[in-house]
Structure 1
Amino acid sequence: MRPNTRPSPMVRKFIRANASADPPRPLLLPSSDNSTENAWPQDPIRDEYCFLYGTLMDPDILSKVLGSSKPLPIMRPARIIGYEIKLWGQYPALLDKPLHPVDGIVCGLLSPTQLDRLAAYETDKYCLRACLINVLNNDSSTEKTIEGVSFMWNGRQDELREGTFDLKQWRKNRQLRELDY
């Protein structure tokens, strides 16, 4: 009888995972300085780019959600094509709509924990989905296109209404609500 030389199912799973793992992505969103302290790690954590729209474009909100005392990840103006915004109460919801653009920001996340914190903030009404993100120049032209993720509406369509989200107006309304306390 020949001994079993086949790797265990767990070892085969790790071999498959490592064989199909994507190589580290190059740094596409340069930091504001060149210090090694702020350089994004390439291994073992793979950087992920997230397209954010709505309240998460507010640096104060994003900082609270990410729960980090470190500086926020680099944020750049961005656009995704093939989507539209509708409103769920005062909050925007991203839906598919061919050839239609949605503006927001792209943010480089440093850890899986940050993505988990964003998902908790978004609730089960939103789900994470892959998308192509156009990183914009100051004149709104596309500098480059990168792969990333965004939070799409995951609720019922009848919960949404037509409308747009205005970050400046949302900030004003938020300040007024805080004054009422």
Structure 2
Amino acid sequence: MSPIPQPPPLPPNALLTISSLIDPEVLQAILELPEPPPVRRASITGFSVKMWGIYPALVRDENGKVSGTVWEVISKAQFLRLAAYETSVYTWCECDVKLNDGEILHNCRTFCWAGDSDSKGLEDGSFNLERYQKYFKSSVTRRRPLLEHPPARERDFAVIFGPLPA
């Protein structure tokens, strides 16, 4: 059963995501930025990571904690580009983000698994950024624009979970 499509959140807000988007060069390619965006370390609670094949999926988990990075998105159009990249197997959920300096960002968003968190298609595991970068990254960073989008005017934050790329 497919989830009911939700309208995108209106900026400003924070967006948490995992997977290849933890790599600033992938973000740069997807969002057509002139340079990779700066990132900051952060974490969230209430979620954990499961794997759908090679792809990570955030699922609700009251005892879970996921660490990662925060970066700045500047438009609703960019959120829509990220949603298109993540595909319909993910939807967005609300969360609060804790930056490593202790600051809390409330009413944030994350791309999480759109299906049942107990789905047979999900397995325990973690995303292997190095493997992704070695075998799959070039297929994203060399491709054409995902969507046409207007100039960015609004600001919001995006939280990317996983290790900081070297």
What TM-score results when the alignment is normalised by the length of structure 2? 0.68
Q: Does 1:171 align with 2:123?
A: no
* Corresponding residue of 1:152: 112
* Corresponding residue of 1:133: 97
Q: Letter of the aligned partner of 2:104 in structure 1?
A: T
User: Which structure's relative contact order is higher, taking Cα pairs within 8 Å and 6+ residues apart?
Assistant: 2
The CA deviation at 1:175 is 7.0
| Structure 2: gaps (5+ residues) | 1-9, 140-166
* Corresponding residue of 1:111: 75
* Corresponding residue of 1:41: none
Q: Letter of the aligned partner of 1:81 in structure 2?
A: T
Q: Provide the rounded CA distance (Å) in 2 between the counterparts of 1:93 and 1:58.
A: 16
Greater per-residue strand proportion: 2
Moved over 6 A (4+): none
* Corresponding residue of 2:142: none
Check whether the contact 2:24–2:37 (CA below 8 A) recurs between aligned residues.
no
**What are the equivalent positions in structure 2 for 1:93-112 lying under 5 Å apart?**
93-112=57-76
* Corresponding residue of 2:144: none
Q: Which has the higher Rg, Structure 1 or Structure 2?
A: 1
What TM-score results when the alignment is normalised by the length of structure 1? 0.63
| Structure 1: gaps (5+ residues) | 1-44, 138-142
Q: Provide the rounded CA distance (Å) in 2 between the counterparts of 1:130 and 1:136.
A: 20
Give the secondary structure class of the aligned counterpart of 1:132. Answer: strand
Check whether the contact 1:73–1:110 (CA below 8 A) recurs between aligned residues.
no
